[in-house]
Amino acid sequence: MLKKSFSLQLHLSFVCFLVAIIPNPANGQQARASSFKAQLMNIEAASNEVFRYQTTLHNGLSVAQTYELNAKLPDGWLISFKVNGSQVRSVQVEGGQEQPIQIEINASQSAEPKKYTLPISAQSSGDTLNLSLEAVVRGSYALQFTTPSGRLSEEVVSGSSETIQLTVKNTGTLPLNELAISSQLPAKWEATFEPSTVEQLEAGKSADITATLKVPEKTIAGDYVANFTAKNANDQQEISFRVLVKTSVLSGWIGIVVILAAVGLVYFLIRKYGRR
């Protein structure tokens, strides 16, 4: 009886040993079920920003599969699938392997602030994988940059300064912070702004900017372009201002006097020394 019990224990031990050393297919990578997963499934952004999702597509089958990538989005929304920086509509994944896929989604500019559920699918001949992403639209950033009258031209006398009134308006639904005003001008021209930075501009509000434009002396009369920019981390707007430079009346009279003086000097020399 003792021998039989010992033999049974030995048999059980041997079975347990075999179970321990024989690989379990369920623990292997190839036996892992196919999946389509995202690192972050819920992303919050403004409607004019890009929603970016890092996803991984795993082929749990033993043979390679070509997956077609699709999405069901609200009207006006756009999506792109990228693999190694290139935009794709399908991707081939070897059996038991996985493929990182970046998904970029652009919401419609008119999207209401709320949470949207975005169904994504990867379909092959042997697999249909679904992924549900969430995009939380918190509002929109929009900036308008112009003048109070809408006029974008001015006349300036060479060598003088001219004051130009500008207006920035927040036409979005989110506050605009740290709006910086800058310029791009012809060589040696100068521009200063008061204020040069708008700390915060709430939705629907506007702010007035006084620009002082200084044109160097001896600037040739004619048409010039001065570009003004309002910019922050969320939006940027630029306006082109046509500047007509004229010479001063005093400069014109001085020129006439110089010409008359030269003519008079020549006449005097001719009368005094005669023609030779």
According to the model, what pLDDT value does residue 32 have?
76
Give me the architecture of the 143-247 domain, per CATH.
Answer: Sandwich (2.60)
Average pLDDT over residues 88-100: 96
pLDDT value of residue 15: 46
pLDDT at 49 over 90: yes
Burial label, 237 (beta-carbon count in 10 A; 0-12, 13-18, 19+)? middle
Q: For 25-137, CATH number?
A: 2.60.40.10
Counting Cβ atoms within 10 Å, is residue 83 exposed (0-12), middle (13-18) or buried (19+)?
middle
What's the confidence (pLDDT) of residue 27?
A: 43
Q: Determine contact, residues 152/239, Cβ cutoff 8 Å.
A: yes
Q: Could you read off the pLDDT of 105-136 as tens digits, one per residue?
A: 999 988 999 999 999 999 999 889 999 999 99
Split at pLDDT 50, 70, 90, the class of 30 is very low
pLDDT over 50 (residue 93): yes
Comma-separated ranges of CATH 2.60.40.10 domains in the chain: 25-137, 143-247
Strand order in the sheet with 197-201: 153-157, 236-246, 222-231, 176-184, 197-201
**The pLDDT of residue 110:** 87
pLDDT at 31: 57
Indicate the pLDDT class of residue 6, thresholds 50, 70 and 90.
very low
**Mean pLDDT estimate for the chain:** 86
CA–CA dist 231, 82 (Å, integer)? 30
Closest CA to 231 of 145, 106, 138: 145
29 vs 149, residue with greater confidence: 149
Residue type, 172: G
Higher pLDDT, 175 or 20: 175
pTM score, two decimals?
0.67
Report residue 265's pLDDT band, with 50, 70 and 90 as the boundaries. Answer: low
Question: What per-residue confidence (pLDDT) applies to 67?
Answer: 98
Please, which residues have CB within 8 angstroms of residue 227's CB and are 6 or more apart in sequence?
Answer: 183, 184, 185, 238, 239, 240, 241
CA–CA distance, 207 with 201 (Å, rounded to integer) = 8
Inform me whether the pLDDT recorded for 76 exceeds 60: yes
Question: Is pLDDT at 255 greater than 60 in this prediction?
Answer: no
